Amino acid sequence: MLVYGLINSAVLALMALGFNLTFGISGVANFAYGAIYVVSGFLTWTLINHLGLPYALSAILTIGIIGVFGGLIYKFIIRRIRGLVISEVIATFGISIVILEFLRYVGFIGFKYSLPVFIKGSVEIFDTYVDIQRLLIIAFGIFLITGLYLFTHHTKIGLAFRGIAQEEHTSLSLGINPDRIAGWSMGMGSALGALAAIVILPLGTITVDSGYDVLISALSVCIVGGLGSTFGVIIASFIIGYAQTITATYVSAHWTMIVSLVAILIILAIKPSGLLGHQKELEERV
């Protein structure tokens, strides 16, 4: 339970990091995130199976293409409505539906779409066999979080990210272009979603409908952790991940579906800004 709870938490954290990054920097809740995750899986599958590219190259290309795609979504759609929260949600959710239904329309149906695991086989940990791909998910989670920390604290663009996140108008006066940085954050968030898809999807199959599930998982982790807080996302992933595993072990797998929703309800009742979120925190205190 300990091992699989940890893996489940890492899966949730990976799914949520991209969504959280975009929201934390630009304030845009990217409801197309689940669709971007799914389209990344199908794109990698297509590059491998139709163009015959090596797995590693397909993965790198996918992350790059999806990153650019995310940036373009910002440039051509979101930039015009940025700050209008309802419009942002409607626009990104609309994009999500268009992407997912387009994938369905062009024939991505059935069970045959799956990415190969990075390394085959399983290892025994505490008398439990765990496949290596799941362990790699934990490794990628740690790598991503460390990488994000270093990026936002030690690179020029990363510091600009933090500047916009902290105080957009002041950043503007220091020569940081908020629109450009927000576009970058959307692109990077999308690329992180693609990376999560490439690491997680080898565990199962790629399906159009999973886009909605991924969005709900990412949303619940971000709401519980506090929108925009990376550390909050990590804590929330552990809380929800272990809560789901404990529920499946001691109650019934049937009830795992409501764990994240119950977590959202509890956090909204107690601390609407989330565990470590800063959105509306001032209003809460007042």
Partner 1 sequence: MMNRMVLCLFFATIFFLSICPASAQQYITLGVPTSLKLIEGYEGHKAAQLAIEEINAKGGVKVGNEKRLLKIEALDIRDGEPGVPTSEALLGIEKLILDKKIYATVVGNFRSEALLAAMDIFSKYKIINIGTIAMTPKFQEKVLSNPEKYKYSFRNCLDSRYLAGYIQNMMKHVSSQFGYNKVFIATQDVLWASATGSMMEKWFKDNGWTVAGFDKYPVGATDFSAGLMKAKSAGVQVILPIFDMPTSGILVKQWKSMKIPALMAGFISPLMGTKAWKTFGEDIDGLMNVVFEIGYFPVKAYPPTVKFSEAYMKRWKEDIQSGHGAAPAYDTVYVLVNAIEKAGTLDPDKVVKALQETDMVGVVGRIKFDKGHQLIFGDDPKTAAVGAVFQWQKGTMAVVWPNSIASAKIVKPSWMK
Does residue 61 contact residue 53 with C-beta atoms inside 8 Å?
yes
According to the binding rule CB under 8 A, does residue 209 interact with partner 1?
A: yes
Q: What are phi and psi of 28, to 5 degrees?
A: -90, 120
Among 152, 190, 207, 273, binds partner 1 (CB under 8 A): 207
Q: Does 46 bind partner 1 (CB under 8 A)?
A: no
50 in contact with partner 1 (CB under 8 A): no
Q: Could you tell me which of 144, 157, 151, 164 has the C-alpha nearest to residue 28?
A: 164
Residue 131 found at the interface with partner 1 (CB under 8 A): yes
d(CA 185, CA 177): 12
- 207 Cβ partners below 8 Å, 6+ apart? 38, 113
Question: Residue 116 phi/psi, 5° resolution?
Answer: -70, 150
Residue in this structure with the two tokens 């015959």, named with its chain if needed = 52
Smaller CB separation from partner 1, 1 or 268? 1
Identified binder of partner 1 from the candidate list 180, 205, 279, 281, rule CB under 8 A:
205
Separation of alpha carbons 232 and 229, rounded Å: 5
111 near partner 1, rule: CB under 8 A:
yes
CA distance linking residue 247 with residue 245, whole number of Å:
5
Single-letter residue type at 270: I
Site for partner 1 contains 230 (CB under 8 A) = no
Give CA–CA dist 58/117, Å, rounded: 14
Question: Which pair of structure tokens corresponds to residue 103?
Answer: 């994938």
Q: How far is the CB of 173 from partner 1 (least distance, A)?
A: 47
Min dist. Cβ of residue 223 to partner 1 (A): 19
Give the Cα separation of 64 and 69 in Å (integer): 9
Q: CB under 8 Å to 46, separation ≥6 — which residues?
A: none
Candidates 53, 89, 130, 157: give the one binding partner 1 (CB under 8 A): 130
Tell me which residues in 233-262 interact with partner 1 (CB under 8 A). 244-245, 248-249, 252-254, 256-257
Report if residue 126 touches partner 1, rule: CB under 8 A: no
Comparison of 7 and 222: residue with beta carbon closer to partner 1: 7
Q: What is the rounded CA–CA span in Å between residue 140 and residue 134? A: 10
110 interacts with partner 1 by CB under 8 A: yes
Least gap, CB of 213 to partner 1 (angstroms): 5
Q: Which CB atom, from 129 or from 231, has the smaller least distance to partner 1?
A: 129
> Which residue type is seen at 178?
P
Report, in Å, the least distance between residue 215 CB and partner 1.
12
The Cα–Cα gap between 30 and 94 comes to: 11
Binding of partner 1 at residue 122 (CB under 8 A)?
A: yes
How many residues of this chain bind partner 1 (CB under 8 A)?
34
Q: With binding defined as CB under 8 A, does residue 155 bind partner 1?
A: no
Question: Is residue 204 a contact residue for partner 1 (CB under 8 A)?
Answer: yes
- Under the binding rule (CB under 8 A), the answer on residue 104 touching partner 1 is yes
146 near partner 1, rule: CB under 8 A: no
CA distance 69 to 95: 12
Report the interface residues with partner 1, using CB under 8 A: 1, 4, 7-8, 11, 104, 109-114, 121-122, 128-131, 203-205, 207, 209-210, 213, 244-245, 248-249, 252-254, 256-257
